[in-house]
Amino acid sequence: NVRRMATEIIRSVADPDQQLWPKLMGVLRDEDWWVRERVMDALVELGGQRLTSHLVALLADPSDVIRRFAVSVLGRIKDPKALRSLVQIATQDADWWVKETAIESVAAINDARAVPYIVHIMAADPDLQPVCIQALIDMEANTAAPQVAPLCSSGSADVRYLAVKFLDKFDANEHAAAVAKLHDDPHPKVRAAARDLITHWRITAQGQAAHSVSMLERLLFQLAQSEGDDLIVAAGKPVFMKKFGRVTSVNPTVLDEEQVKALLLPHLSTEQVMALQAMQDVDYSHEVKSEGLRFRANIFYQLGGLSGVFRRIRGALPEFEKLGLPPLVQSFGNLKNGLVLVGGPTGSGKSTTLAALIDYINRTSSRHIISLEDPIEVIHKRKQSLVNQREVGTHTNSFAAALRSTLREDPNVILVGEMRDLPTIEFTVVAAETGHLVFGTVHTVSAATTVDRIVAAFPPGQQQQVRSTLADSLRAVVCQYLMREKSGTGRVLAVELMVNNEAVSNLIRKGKAFQLPSVISTSREQGMQLMDSDLMRLTKEGKITAGDAYVKAVSKKDFEPFVEEEEKAAAQRRAPNFKTVAVAAVPSPAQPQAPAAGPAQAPPTRSSAQPQSSVIRPAAAGGTRKP
């Protein structure tokens, strides 16, 4: 009580000669917390920022209570000179309470130079993320939004809630996609905060739509709402949408070239506009940030004028089991080295297959993965592996430029988004030969043509060496089609799968890739399958039409009976029901009468009512119709 009374007296006495407060520093270790608090109140009033050096010395005290007390007072006197010591305590102290208090004191000093340190601590120590986010809010650190937004996916409800509050405070609606994922969050507080913020942003966006949302972005949003795949804009035509392989108009209004230019050019950089003027195509990633939508865009000139195609990048990765791939494909992620090629035409799901394989590796092993993509379609967050993703046109000028530095980055796994030219193909083959696991895509529809395409890309003098290299380093080839479901409501995958074994290796080395289908057809017990066999399976299971299978098949004769049966069934559905057709009386030639009301008519002849015996089959790609 005596010490408490003395403290109150000290607080009421001025110290013009600055002799009192240095003597009070020793009292800061008093066992009575009330005495310590009152003495510190007096010291702050008497000494101010002159206390900084004395308080910093207390940060080395063995007592966590004293360290926490010193850190708290440094936050009260707000001396920027203490920042370095506070940051050091926040990262190194053994007591979590001391570290939290140090971060709160840094926020109280509110020096912009400390923001990067808070962001670093937030990323390095999940236990300190709540206090770090609150500190960034208090410091008005809106520049930290890109680092805070990913924490909306944190496993801690407190962190998710504070991340939403941060984005709300600074109206960071460019991160709407991160908040939208919390719409159905299991924690009611997080769920309510996310829904309120999403509603606020949507109301604001609607109010500013006329000024801030372009017509193109409205069309792209409409495409997403309709679950479409592509938006096609062309001068002299209406805007079209492609969904499940079928093209339909979005709006009947025909756009002239000036309207198309007004729609597309504002979204291009000066360099991209100059490229168009030089008759070059332009590829880029287009984002509708307010809705969290991403598209792969290709802008080009055609006969009618300027045109553009926007393919939706869904971003979400479906479960491997739901892709329709043979189970053996997933095991390719366990390989340690070699080359795995995924082939198929544009829009056949090659990128999705590779993304599923990278996700499998990321979930099941600890490796360094480098992907080179155009554009990045699925963002892989760190799970077990480190995934570095580079987008051509954004992070590097070309595949070739990126490939030159890839091997110096010591990857275990390399993904090459598209093997489109000799430098890229050559790098892929060399990387697989030097102990890396390499995944790549090619625009081929069978294992045999895939091997031939790789070899043919090289000069004739190198082709035999390339065959020998492929014979040893190639691990598997997956070729696929995305077929329209018979119901017309979705897509289903048809796959050809070849795994390298001794027979396959010998044929590749001898330049006899044309014999690979025979090996594949006799190696079903090893998990291999031809495209025709998978098309036949899908046809028999009723998942695709026989006509669609016939178009894609190599051996079309095997599918002819199914096409005939399908066409006969279609003809029977189209044929009239004669039991319900009434026969009208034939009027006398001498007394013509007006036609009777209703559908009365003469029975159709055999030639007009019965299906023809000859079958007109769908034309094969690049071929002619067979009688």
Q: Assign 23 a pLDDT band (cuts: 50, 70, 90).
A: low
Q: Is the pLDDT of residue 600 over 80?
A: no
Q: Is the pLDDT of residue 544 over 80?
A: yes
In angstroms, the CA 391 to CA 377 distance is: 9
The answer to whether 285 and 375 are in contact (CB under 8 A) is yes
What's the whole-number average pLDDT of the chain?
A: 83
- The answer as to whether 582 is a domain residue is no
Distance of CA 401 to the CA centre of its chain: 23
| Residues contacting 576, CB < 8 A, separation 6+ | 604, 609
166: how many CB neighbours lie within 10 A of its CB? 24
Q: Domain holding 292: CATH number?
A: 3.30.450.90
Q: Are residues 340 and 298 in the same domain?
A: no
Q: Are residues 239 and 180 in the same domain?
A: no
Q: How do residues 577-592 score in pLDDT, each as one tens digit?
A: 655 444 444 444 444 4
Q: How do residues 65-115 score in pLDDT, each as one tens digit?
A: 888 888 888 888 888 998 999 999 999 999 999 999 999 999 999 898 999
- The answer as to whether 407 is a domain residue is yes
Q: Tokens 């009365």 map to which residue? A: 600
In angstroms, the CA 182 to CA 521 distance is: 49
- The answer as to whether 119 is a domain residue is yes
Picking from 207, 235, 259, the residue at the C-terminal end of a domain is 207
Q: Are residues 43 and 88 in the same domain?
A: yes
Under DSSP, the state recorded for 543 is S
Q: Are residues 50 and 157 in the same domain?
A: yes
- Upper half-sphere CA count for residue 278 (Cβ side, 13 Å): 8
The answer to whether 253 and 243 are in contact (CB under 8 A) is no
Q: Is the pLDDT of residue 211 over 50?
A: no
Q: What is the pLDDT of residue 355?
A: 92
- The answer as to whether 561 is a domain residue is no
Q: Are residues 237 and 351 in the same domain?
A: no
Q: What is the pLDDT of residue 586?
A: 44
Pairing status of strand 491-499 against strand 368-373: unpaired
Cis ω for the linkage preceding 375 (within 30 of 0)? yes
Q: What is the pLDDT of residue 405?
A: 82
Q: Domain holding 501: CATH number?
A: 3.40.50.300
Q: Are residues 156 and 19 in the same domain?
A: yes
Q: What is the pLDDT of residue 578?
A: 53
Q: Are residues 265 and 220 in the same domain?
A: yes
- Upper half-sphere CA count for residue 381 (Cβ side, 13 Å): 7
- If one counts the domains in the chain, the total is 3
Q: Are residues 354 and 469 in the same domain?
A: yes
- The answer as to whether 180 is a domain residue is yes
Q: Are residues 196 and 121 in the same domain?
A: yes
Q: Tokens 């082709």 map to which residue? A: 463
The strand ranges marked E within 85-190 are none
Picking from 181, 207, 233, the residue at the C-terminal end of a domain is 207
Kindly tell me the number of DSSP H helices and DSSP E strands found in the chain: 29, 13
Q: Is the pLDDT of residue 137 over 60?
A: yes
Per the structure block, which two tokens stand in for 196? 């309120």
Q: What is the pLDDT of residue 627?
A: 35
Q: What is the pLDDT of residue 32?
A: 58
- The answer as to whether 349 is a domain residue is yes
Picking from 513, 544, 575, the residue at the C-terminal end of a domain is 544
- The answer as to whether 610 is a domain residue is no
Report the pLDDT averaged over residues 556-568.
93
Q: How do residues 371-410 score in pLDDT, each as one tens digit?
A: 988 778 788 888 999 999 988 777 777 777 788 788 888 8
Q: Are residues 152 and 179 in the same domain?
A: yes
Q: How do residues 31-75 score in pLDDT, each as one tens digit?
A: 556 666 666 666 666 656 777 887 888 888 888 888 888 888 888
Q: Are residues 175 and 193 in the same domain?
A: yes
Q: Are residues 68 and 198 in the same domain?
A: yes
Degrees, nearest 5: CA angle 100-106-109: 145
- The answer as to whether 573 is a domain residue is no
Specify burial of residue 202 (Cβ count, 10 A radius: 0-12, 13-18, 19+). middle
Q: Tokens 């309120």 map to which residue? A: 196
Q: Is the pLDDT of residue 281 over 80?
A: yes
Q: Is the pLDDT of residue 446 over 80?
A: yes
Q: What is the pLDDT of residue 244?
A: 80
Q: Which DSSP helix (H) or strand (E) runs through 208?
A: none
Q: Domain holding 156: CATH number?
A: 1.25.10.10
Q: How do residues 602-618 score in pLDDT, each as one tens digit?
A: 444 444 444 443 444 44
Domain of 91 in residue numbering reads as 2-207
